[in-house]
Amino acid sequence: MEYGLLIMGAPYTSAAPHSALRFANAVLSKGHRIAGIFFYQDGVHNASSLMTPPQDELNMREAWVELHQQHNVALDVCIAAALRRGLMSELEAKRHGLVNFNIEAPFELTGLGQLLELQQRCDRFMTFA
């Protein structure tokens, strides 16, 4: 079975990202596939490369990167929600005349069309808000 995940909660202020990560690992351990993960609303903060939680806490960004590396899961970030919250890739920073950026691969800024496509190609689509 192929799953898609929508994450709308910010790390460390919502249980949604951690619940989604645990769900993804459980699904994968049962032999299913995660087609992609879409970060929306405050969930875009999961992609920030500037997160530095205490060493005894799970670094959510690193956990998503590890999931991508081990299972080739696409990590899409809503560009409109990200820009509104001050998150951007190097390309977007240049486009807006800014020097700094805080979204790097494997996270990719995409539009809501990518979310719709993910929903359509999955057997199950789970929302974590």
Active site residues: 78
Q: What is the DSSP string of 27-82?
A: HHHTT-EEEEEEE-GGGGGGG-TT----TTS--HHHHHHHHHHHH--EEEEEHHHH
The answer to whether 46 and 60 have CB atoms below 8 angstroms apart is yes
Write the CA distances from 35 to 13, 102, 122, integer angstroms: 26, 24, 7
Distance CA 5, CA 74 (A): 10
